[in-house]
């Protein structure tokens, strides 16, 4: 087993623990160990053989034993126990999108292989990419309904399966509720469409179809129309196609009628991450490893934005070390195909000033300002801090602007309307932070930013190579927020983005 294989197994353990609603400190320990292993320059099997595992930052005695188990057996008993143990007494009713997607994709792959089943697709809130979901919903088409139901009833990870007509309710061994919509192949697309959208969205479209054609989605006559794709359903309603992320009854139907829906950004539009951390502060990987991982993703650029000096808990960089890092990055440029931007995630201090002098900030490519302390301050105080930070000519982006942690910490009490006003007047961008437990700003706020003419950046805030993959979550937030390619700075190429980032300095 290679380092990456072991890191992925530890990361999967963290995901399963999260799905089962386990202690978040235990989850964090597995994630930290996964990141540490992924970032090693040395073969972990050699480190283990020489009894040096606990010398690696992020690996304590318990995790060292788990790693030794993986090396010796190729398996992690914890995962097998979690997947076969009894359902937790308390079901996990607040599942983060990242965890739900992981589970849903695994289920699709495994259920498709069962007898009698033709195809499976994720539907419902997960398909719409809501930030948290109550469970996982799947549409399952069957070549043979009886065989399919029998196969699903014997699937080992699905327990307490009950059927009401063609809808199966079941609890996964992780404690997650799963809904299975079973159908014959010819009705797969209509059922997928019907179970994807919010109730309001579905009702409005069905009403339009009934009024224009006389057909009801549930009628036998509708089934005879041979719907081959979801776009056909919108065509019957005289609407342009609406992507799953927008099917929330938030004005998308009214926009689709005159053909004025946004052409939301695609993952392929994304050119580079402007907010990542390295082992110079509290990340686990070197600058080189982060750059190499970004290059593998096909990025044109990557900004190194380690923490500033006052955030000592995150090993924030002193001004001297920041200067050293800047020189180090500049010396690396010729070794990589991607452009490595110098940068910082600077703390917004209690009075709204920035945790680095302007003459230092002026020399950096990317300056993100974020609140990390004083999260419980009153509305006036915390709003004033953020707005003063945006008035600094060198602050280009406000990071995770509400400070929330999904399921753990509420957003701080900030006047977001005032933040939007000052962001627009100062030319400051707002970040969609793609960390699975942040997704901050959220989709509604992203849409407000778009409507106010404020640029948005989508970043991962990654602390390891593995976390760069979280960008897919941030892109989902942007799509739900109606953001188009032109609204997101990370869609600009490496020359354009640098020009845009420097514009504020010259205002």
pLDDT band at 312 (very low <50, low <70, confident <90, very high): confident
User: Residue 412 gets which letter from DSSP?
Assistant: P
Looking at the predicted structure, is the pLDDT value of residue 409 above 70? yes
Looking at the predicted structure, is the pLDDT value of residue 506 above 80? no
Distance of alpha carbon 160 from alpha carbon 122, whole angstroms: 21
CB within 8 A of 197, min separation 6: which ones?
Answer: 128, 205, 244, 247, 248, 249
Q: Average pLDDT, stretch 23-30?
A: 83
pLDDT of residue 487: 98
Considering the chain, tell me which residue range(s) the CATH 1.10.150.110 domain(s) occupy: 3-84
Is the pTM higher than 0.85? The answer reads yes
Architecture of domain 95-256: 2-Layer Sandwich (3.30)
Q: pLDDT higher for 313 or 164?
A: 164
State both tokens at 45.
Answer: 């099997």
pLDDT 10s digits, 366-403:
999 999 999 999 999 999 999 999 999 999 999 999 99
Looking at the predicted structure, is the pLDDT value of residue 507 above 70? no
| Residues in a beta bridge with 136 | 178
441 upstream amide cis, omega within 30 of 0: yes
Backbone angles phi, psi at 87, to 5 degrees: -60, 135
Considering the chain, tell me which residue range(s) the CATH 3.30.460.10 domain(s) occupy: 95-256
Distance of alpha carbon 223 from alpha carbon 289, whole angstroms: 53
- Cβ atoms of residues 497 and 420 within 8 Å: no
Looking at the predicted structure, is the pLDDT value of residue 315 above 70? yes
* Region of poorest pLDDT, from 81-90, 332-341, 384-393: 81-90
pLDDT of residue 418: 98
pLDDT 10s digits, 271-296:
999 999 999 999 989 999 999 999 99
Distance of alpha carbon 477 from alpha carbon 322, whole angstroms: 32
Backbone angles phi, psi at 66, to 5 degrees: -65, -40
CATH for 267-506 (3.30.499.10, 3.40.50.720, 1.10.1380.10, 3.20.20.140): 3.20.20.140
From the list 499, 446, 472, the residue with the least C-alpha distance to 273 is: 472
431 burial via Cβ count (<10 Å: 0-12, 13-18, 19+): buried
State both tokens at 299.
Answer: 């990025």
Looking at the predicted structure, is the pLDDT value of residue 85 above 70? no
Q: CATH for 3-84?
A: 1.10.150.110
CB within 8 A of 157, min separation 6: which ones?
Answer: 83, 84, 172, 173
Q: State the sign of the Cα–Cα–Cα–Cα dihedral 208, 213, 216, 222.
A: negative
pLDDT band at 52 (very low <50, low <70, confident <90, very high): very high
List the 167-172 sheet strands across, edge first: 117-123, 135-142, 177-184, 167-172, 158-164
Looking at the predicted structure, is the pLDDT value of residue 189 above 90? yes
pLDDT 10s digits, 434-460:
999 999 999 999 999 999 999 999 999
Distance of alpha carbon 15 from alpha carbon 76, whole angstroms: 14
Q: Average pLDDT, stretch 463-469?
A: 93
Considering the chain, tell me which residue range(s) the CATH 3.20.20.140 domain(s) occupy: 267-506
Q: Average pLDDT, stretch 154-178?
A: 90
Determine the 3-state secondary structure of 169 from DSSP. strand
């Amino acid at each position: 087993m290679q380092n990456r294989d072991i890191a992925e197994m530890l990361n999967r353990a963290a995901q399963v623990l999260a799905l089962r609603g386990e202690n978040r400190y235990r989850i964090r320990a597995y994630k930290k160990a996964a990141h540490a292993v992924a970032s090693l320059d040395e073969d972990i099997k050699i480190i283990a053989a020489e009894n040096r595992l606990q010398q690696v930052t992020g690996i304590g005695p318990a995790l060292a034993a788990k790693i030794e188990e993986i090396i010796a057996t190729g398996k992690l008993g914890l995962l097998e126990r979690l997947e076969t143990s009894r359902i937790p007494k308390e079901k996990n009713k607040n599942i983060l999108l990242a965890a739900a997607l992981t589970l849903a994709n695994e289920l699709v792959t495994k259920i498709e292989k069962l007898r009698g089943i033709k195809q499976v697709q994720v539907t419902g809130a997960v398909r719409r990419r809501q930030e948290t979901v109550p469970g996982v919903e799947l549409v399952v088409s069957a070549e043979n309904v009886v065989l399919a139901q029998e196969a699903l009833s014997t699937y080992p990870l699905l327990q307490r399966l009950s059927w009401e007509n063609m809808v199966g309710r079941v609890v996964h061994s992780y404690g997650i509720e799963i809904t299975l919509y079973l159908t014959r192949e010819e009705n797969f697309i209509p059922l997928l469409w019907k179970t994807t959208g919010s109730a309001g969205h579905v009702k409005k479209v069905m009403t339009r179809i009934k009024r224009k054609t006389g057909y009801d989605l549930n009628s036998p006559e509708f089934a005879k129309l041979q719907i081959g794709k979801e776009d056909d359903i919108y065509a019957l309603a005289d609407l342009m196609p609406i992507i799953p992320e927008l099917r929330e009854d938030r004005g998308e139907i009214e926009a689709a009628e005159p053909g004025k829906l946004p052409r939301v950004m695609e993952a392929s539009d994304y050119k580079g991450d402007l907010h990542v951390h390295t082992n110079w502060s509290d990340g686990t990987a070197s600058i080189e490893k982060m750059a190499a991982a970004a290059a593998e993703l096909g990025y044109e650029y990557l900004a190194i934005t380690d923490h500033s000096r006052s955030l000592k808990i995150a090993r924030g960089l002193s001004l001297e070390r920041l200067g050293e890092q800047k020189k180090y990055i500049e010396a690396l440029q010729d070794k990589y195909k991607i452009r490595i931007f110098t940068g910082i995630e600077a703390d917004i201090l209690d009075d709204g000033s920035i945790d680095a002098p302007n003459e230092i900030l002026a020399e950096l490519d990317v300056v993100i300002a974020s609140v990390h302390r004083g999260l419980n301050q009153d509305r006036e105080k915390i709003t004033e801090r953020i707005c003063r930070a945006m008035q600094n000519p060198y602050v280009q982006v406000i990071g995770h602007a509400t400070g929330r942690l999904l399921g753990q910490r509420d957003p701080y009490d900030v006047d977001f309307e005032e933040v939007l006003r000052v962001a627009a007047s100062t030319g400051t961008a707002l970040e969609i932070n793609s960390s699975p437990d942040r997704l901050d700003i959220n989709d509604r706020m992203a849409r407000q930013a778009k409507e106010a003419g404020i640029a948005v950046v989508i970043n991962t805030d990654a602390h390891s190579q593995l976390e760069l993959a979280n960008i897919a979550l941030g892109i989902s937030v942007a799509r739900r927020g109606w953001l188009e390619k032109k609204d997101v700075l990370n869609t600009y190429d490496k020359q354009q983005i640098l020009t845009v980032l420097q514009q504020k300095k010259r205002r």
